[in-house]
Amino acid sequence: MSWTDERVELLKKMWGEGQSASQIAKELGGVTRNAVIGKVHRLGLSNRAGGAAPAAAAPAAPKAAPAAPAAAPKPKPKAEAKPRPAPEPETAKAEDDDNTPRTMPAVPAVSTRRQIIPAGQPLPPQPSANEISPEALAKVNEVEKKAKRISLMELTEKTCKWPIGDPATEDFWFCGLGTQTGKPYCEAHVGVAFQPMSSRRDRRR
């Protein structure tokens, strides 16, 4: 695959939206996240595009010894910050000693863009209304005690996506335990999600 105009454009767009390199790579197809990152850098997209503060930190630039106590601003050549065009109400980052991770955009890009929302798989009926094998149910109850209680944004392809609680309230989270191979849920929840289609219904034969 080569970097056609369209692909580059999509790359720019997604990167600008704060999508991760791997997501972009996956979307584009035929490239790895390394390729995406490499391209991003070559395009000069890695830092703020706005043209402000061209503090070019040349890779070959010698590490200046911190010997300027007077007005030593902050010899932090590590280019960081997201090129988020949208106005950011967030407090300006004064110091970056212990800032929050940049993986979570202040402005959620989940609005119009289908994201990591679980789909395709059958959504689980809440156990409350259903009759499920007592064993599985007991298992689930047990599991829910030690569930990781992750949020929507924390879901990955490897976290159990079984919703627990009421989505309309704050009493809502996702199981978050490790998924069973391939399945969208952990072992316990797979147990209740994929019923063998015979609990006691057609038991005769």
**Chain contacts with DNA (rule: CB under 7 A):** 1-3, 19-23, 31-35, 37-42, 46-47, 57, 59, 77-80, 101-103, 156-158
Cα–Cα distance, 179 to 137 (Å, whole number): 17
Q: How far is the CB of 190 from DNA (least distance, A)?
A: 19
Q: How far is the CB of 89 from DNA (least distance, A)?
A: 22
Judged by beta carbon, residue 55 or residue 138, the one nearer DNA is: 55
Judged by beta carbon, residue 47 or residue 175, the one nearer DNA is: 47
Q: How far is the CB of 23 from DNA (least distance, A)?
A: 6
Q: How far is the CB of 45 from DNA (least distance, A)?
A: 8
| Helix runs in the chain, H state only | 5-16, 21-28, 33-43, 134-146, 187-193
Is 140 buried (19+), middle (13-18) or exposed (0-12) by CB count in 10 A?
buried
Cα–Cα distance, 101 to 99 (Å, whole number): 7
- From first CA to last CA, the distance across the chain in angstroms is 57
Judged by beta carbon, residue 157 or residue 166, the one nearer DNA is: 157
